Structure 1
Amino acid sequence: MKPLQLTHFTATSCIGRGLDATLRALRESRGGLAPCRFERAELETWIGTVDGVDDTPVRADLSAFDCRNHRLAQLGLTQDGFAEAVESAAARYGVARVGVFLGTSTSGILQTELAYRRRDPQSGALPADFHYAETHNTYSLAAFVRAYFGLVGPAAVISSACSSGAKAFASARRMIEAGLIDAAVVGGVDSLCLTTLYGFNSLELLSSEPCKPFDITRKGISIGEAAAFFLLERPRNGHRAGMGTETSDDAILLLGIGESSDAHHMSSPHPEGLGARRAIEGALATAGLGPADIDYVNLHGTATPSNDVAESLALNALFDGTPASSTKGATGHTLGAAGALEAVVSALALRHQFVPAGVGTTQPDPVLQLDYVLASRDARVRTVLSNSFGFGGTNCSLILGRRNSVRGGSETS
């Protein structure tokens, strides 16, 4: 594939609002998980909550969209000058030539949970002020972001469980390569709700302590919430991008995308990691790179026994000692937003030349045989592989890199 430029990006999660706060937490190997205090969630688990999400309703002209998920999306859009970057792109290309492709798993389902508490006691009818299409409906996230910027180009929401935020990049890339758009807002938003917390609890996947990906004592996941966005464009020579910090020579690019669907089981990965391996191989092939060209792997790393084993088998079949870590120990598993949030982490690793630690992990499981990073450290990072694997075997791997280090025959123009 022809590389695409990640001209602007931003992330908001439990470790911070915006890139500066996120980078500080990653550099300091500091997590944001805390004991669960989510309303009505009487569970012994830890979660990654974004403080203050409900403090500000969505913009008044978009009030029909008001829900926790879109408040989180709005909070994310207003960080790091991202909204201004999208508005500039819309002015440059036209509002019909900028697409919106986002990932989510539960969208605004919390709004439905709240509405059910207020049903009419006689008829059971939901309250008149409940707007299903603008809040709970999966597409509502893209509709909200599209309306927020006044865009009229193609828009879609990918809801493929935990790979959603990564697979959004694949959808945007296809639209750009087809010539239907010139740029895209890409990313993912997922917010906490009772359906998610109790759903994973019913699957016996929640950890009673902060999650420990790839640790010998790992017990399960910690759920988080996040909003992460990218502005994806074709590379433009001489363009100064990335919040004014990058020249055309060190711009961050999306080099490769690999997708697979192994459909081994509704909630368990293929035990030998075959679907994960196919996604990684696809990303390497589209980037024109080999395993030895990857400098750091941001693992999917959910901290469940079976998922970490399957991913390690996929990695060990292809890589030999490549530094790797899962940042879910810091942010929690942000589900449909995870692929986008961890793409931001990967982009920060490229921009600031470091590998982030796997927060919470103290004793990497020796059976998994990975070079697991326990403390953030400076390093030469030219390319990063970021993995996102969802329920039902919906897998996606992304490869990001710096323009001045593209190798293996990838085209840059």
Structure 2
Amino acid sequence: MKPLLLSHYTATSCLGRGLDATLDALRRQRGGLAPCDFERAELDTWIGAVEGVEAEPMRADLADYACRNNRLAQLGLTQDGFAAHVERTIARYGADRVGVFVGTSTSGILETEDAYRRRDPQTGALPAGFHYAETHNPYSVASFVRAYFALRGPAMAISSACSSGAKVFGSARRMIEAGLIDAAVVGGVDSLCLTTLYGFNSLELLSRKPCRPFDVARDGISIGEAAAFALVERLPEAREAVDENAVLLLGVGESSDAHHMSSPHPEGLGARAAIEQALAMAGVAPAGIGYINLHGTATPSNDAAESLAVRAFFEGTPCSSTKGATGHTLGAAGALEAVVAALALRHRFVPAGVNTTQPDPALGLDYVLQSRDADLHTVLSNSFGFGGTNCSLIFGRADHALREPRA
């Protein structure tokens, strides 16, 4: 594929609002998980909540979209000058030439949970002010972003479980390469809700401690929430116009092994297929990857399966899962971790796996326990979801990717 430019990106999670807060937390190995205090969730677990989401006022013309998920999306869009950058891009290409692709898993289901608690006791009717299409519907967050920027190009929500926020890059790439659009707002937004918390609890997948990906004592996930976005566009014809520190999307690998509804293939076959496809598309040999941001949910089976997939291609490549810091942000995870990969490349450092103290030797990976500077050129980011929906992304620095011959 032709490389695409990540001309701007931003992330908001329990680590803080925007890139500076995220970068500082990753460098200092500061996690954002805390004991669960989410309203009505009486669970012995830890969560990664974004402070002040419910206090975020919705723009008046978008009042029908009011829900925790879209408030979080709006909070994310207003960080790091991202919205202003999108507006300039729209002015350059036109509102019908910029697409929107947003990943989510439960969207605004919290709004529906509340609506059902407020049903009419006599008729069972839901409250008159409940707007399902603009809140709970999985497309609502993509519709919200499209309306926020008054865009007229193609828009879609990707809801493929925990790979959603990564697969948006593949959807945007296909639309751009087909000539249907020139740029795309891609991202992932997922917010805390009772359905998710109690659902994962029923699957016995929640840890009672902050999650410890790839640790010998790992015992489950910590659920977080996040809004992460990137603006993806064609490279300028004049390559010298590209900032040498810019981050490029080099490869996308997707697979669907459909092994099991909620368990990964024990040998990581679907994950392996996604990694292999991403490497081939990027024209990068495994030895050219300087860091791997692992999916790393901290469940015994998931981390074991991913380690087999990674070891099929890589030997001694530094890797870590940043979910120990942010929690598993589900449909937003792929986008959040794409931004982490971009920060690692731009600032040339490898982020540590927070909370992990004793990497499981049986998994055989070079798991990073201390954040450190590194001369990174190319990074792989993995996102694997329920039902075997897998996605791997490869990003590279412009100063290297535009100069080096591709494999």
Task: Please state which band the TM-score falls in when normalised by the shorter chain.
Answer: over 0.9
Of 283, 289, 306, 1:311 maps to 306
| Matched residue type, 1:108 | G
| Matched residue type, 1:90 | I
The answer on 1:84 being equivalent to 2:84 is yes
Task: Map residues 184-195 of structure 1 onto 2, 5 A cutoff.
Answer: 184-195=184-195
Secondary structure of the 1:53 match is: coil
* 1:410 Cα offset (Å): 4.1
Contact 1:298 1:327 in 2 (8 A): yes
What does residue 35 of structure 1 align with? 35
* CA deviation vs aligned residue, 1:201-247 (integer Å, no higher than 9, x gap): 00000000000000000010000000000000011256899xxxxx5
Report how many residues are paired.
406
What does residue 99 of structure 2 align with? 99
Secondary structure of the 2:133 match is: helix
The answer on 1:381 being equivalent to 2:376 is yes
Q: 1:149 to 1:194 in 2, by over 3 A?
A: same
* CA deviation vs aligned residue, 1:328-380 (integer Å, no higher than 9, x gap): 00000000000000000000000000000000000000000100000100001
* 1:317 Cα offset (Å): 1.1
CA distance in 2, matches of 1:44, 1:296: 34
Kindly, what percent of the aligned residue pairs are identical? 77
The answer on 1:147 being equivalent to 2:158 is no
| Matched residue type, 2:142 | A
Secondary structure of the 2:134 match is: helix
Secondary structure of the 2:102 match is: strand
CA distance in 2, matches of 1:375, 1:235: 35
| Matched residue type, 1:137 | N
| Matched residue type, 2:153 | G
What does residue 280 of structure 1 align with? 275
Contact 1:3 1:410 in 2 (8 A): no
| Matched residue type, 2:168 | A
CA distance in 2, matches of 1:255, 1:317: 21
CA distance in 2, matches of 1:180, 1:328: 35
* 1:57 Cα offset (Å): 2.4
What does residue 264 of structure 2 align with? 269
What does residue 66 of structure 1 align with? 66
What does residue 337 of structure 1 align with? 332
What does residue 244 of structure 1 align with? none
Contact 1:238 1:248 in 2 (8 A): no
CA distance in 2, matches of 1:404, 1:239: 10
* 1:154 Cα offset (Å): 0.1
| Matched residue type, 1:63 | A
The answer on 1:169 being equivalent to 2:164 is no
Secondary structure of the 1:303 match is: coil
| Matched residue type, 2:245 | D
Secondary structure of the 1:310 match is: helix
The answer on 1:296 being equivalent to 2:291 is yes
What does residue 15 of structure 1 align with? 15
| Matched residue type, 1:170 | G
- Structure 1 unpaired stretches of 5+: 242-246
The answer on 1:327 being equivalent to 2:357 is no
| Matched residue type, 2:394 | I
What does residue 125 of structure 1 align with? 125
CA distance in 2, matches of 1:107, 1:72: 11
* CA deviation vs aligned residue, 1:253-303 (integer Å, no higher than 9, x gap): 000000000000000000000000000000000000110010000000000
* 1:249 Cα offset (Å): 2.7
Contact 1:289 1:408 in 2 (8 A): no
What does residue 227 of structure 2 align with? 227
Secondary structure of the 2:271 match is: helix
| Matched residue type, 1:96 | D
CA distance in 2, matches of 1:320, 1:197: 36
| Matched residue type, 1:133 | A
What does residue 370 of structure 1 align with? 365
Contact 1:45 1:206 in 2 (8 A): yes
* 1:50 Cα offset (Å): 0.1
* 1:250 Cα offset (Å): 2.8
Q: 1:201 to 1:53 in 2, by over 3 A?
A: same
Secondary structure of the 1:184 match is: strand
Of 390, 397, 406, 1:402 maps to 397
| Matched residue type, 1:305 | P
Contact 1:224 1:332 in 2 (8 A): yes
* 1:408 Cα offset (Å): 6.6
CA distance in 2, matches of 1:75, 1:301: 26
Q: 1:261 to 1:149 in 2, by over 3 A?
A: same
Secondary structure of the 1:175 match is: helix
CA distance in 1, matches of 2:93, 2:133: 29
* 1:58 Cα offset (Å): 1.2
CA distance in 2, matches of 1:238, 1:116: 56
- Structure 2 unpaired stretches of 5+: none
What does residue 359 of structure 1 align with? 354
Q: 1:240 to 1:166 in 2, by over 3 A?
A: farther
Secondary structure of the 2:126 match is: coil
Secondary structure of the 1:54 match is: coil
CA distance in 1, matches of 2:253, 2:312: 16
| Matched residue type, 1:348 | L
Q: 1:19 to 1:240 in 2, by over 3 A?
A: farther
CA distance in 2, matches of 1:308, 1:240: 41
What does residue 343 of structure 2 align with? 348
* CA deviation vs aligned residue, 1:139-182 (integer Å, no higher than 9, x gap): 00010000000001000000000000000000000000000000
What's the TM-score, normalizing by structure 1? 0.97
| Matched residue type, 1:136 | H
CA distance in 1, matches of 2:246, 2:111: 39
